[in-house]
A = this chain, B = another copy of it.
Amino acid sequence: MIIPTIGDMLRAHERIKPHIHKTPVLTSSYFNELTGAELFFKCENFQKAGVFKARGASNAVFSLGNDMLEKGVATHSSGNHALSLSYAAGRRGIPCTVVMPRTAPQAKKDAVKGYGGRIIECEPSTSSREAVFAEVVAETGAEFVHPYNDHRVIAGQGTCSNELLKQVEGLDAVIAPIGGGGMVSGTCLTLSNLAPEVKIYAAEPEQADDAMRSFKAGHIIADDAPETIADGLKVPLKDLTWHFVSNHVSDILTVSEQEIIDAMKLIWKRMKIVMEPSSAVPLAAIIKNKDTFAGKRVGIIITGGNVDLDLLPWLKN
């Protein structure tokens, strides 16, 4: 296990600056009144590839040695990491192979291809995915970039809070959604070193509350197959992200599916931004725990904006 340092994060930031957006911070008098807190929305939905993961993926891709450039990178993902790694590899002009279940939505396959990624299909099972992925790595010699349990990825995600600290003075807390813990770990890395007075909160769906239960138990608990509309948050913590979460997070708050949908729709309506269900989880947690945040200056990471506009959750009924 390689634990990234604050120096790694700062070097990552210099490395990836030409390839990512410095995303804007939006405020909303409506949400400030609603919550009693002063909220600063860090809009990673406006990030390259539509998600914060472009940061970590870019850092992994642009820190590869010259000997790896022909072999490229590979991963297995049907989501935002596949997009982000394809984006970053495209920027560097190296191959990117993504193993994806053949049942994944065509729109996601098209998006990966749009960024120049090569898709190898597997059956929708863990055994098939692992077998196909092993073949891909054996054949290509590509570097595996894990979506979150990777020191380069975490150092890259930490650049988000590094920007936020320069954009907003006097923060009392930062809150981000937690799935595998990549964004939260990067946030911990940056804040624990550069602004240790800022409290770090994570927010999670009740229906995928393995991070909260791990946090209470003191060791990783991995659910098998949680179901939530916040589909980026179904994956479990791993050793590297557990290191950061267990050492630096103040609390993990959970919210119901309906609370996520309500917060998501309210953000779209009042702030006029498109963001994923996962990104609504922190605001839902603040609305549910007003006393914890009232009177505080709170950064909220809006993690991504890749949502299927034909399947909005408040229209499902």
Contacts and interface: CB of A to CB of B under 8 A. Distances in A.
A314 B310 contact: yes
- Among A46, A272, A312, A315, which residue has the most Cβ atoms of chain B within 10 A? A272
B315 A310 contact: yes
Contact of A312 (B45, B271, B309): B309
A46 B314 contact: no
Given A24-B24, A315-B315, A272 B50 contact: yes
A309 B272 contact: no
Contacts of A24: 24
A297 interface: no
Give the copy number. 2
Contacts of A166: none
B305 A272 contact: yes
Contacts of A275: 272
Contacts of A269: 274, 309
Contact of A309 (B265, B271, B273, B305): B265
A25 to B, nearest CB: 11
Nearest to A114: B30
A26 interface: yes
Given A269-B274, A269-B309, 6 more contacts: A46-B272, A272-B275, A272-B305, A273-B274, A274-B274, A312-B312
Interface of A: 24, 26, 45-46, 50, 265, 268-269, 271-275, 305, 309-310, 312, 314-315
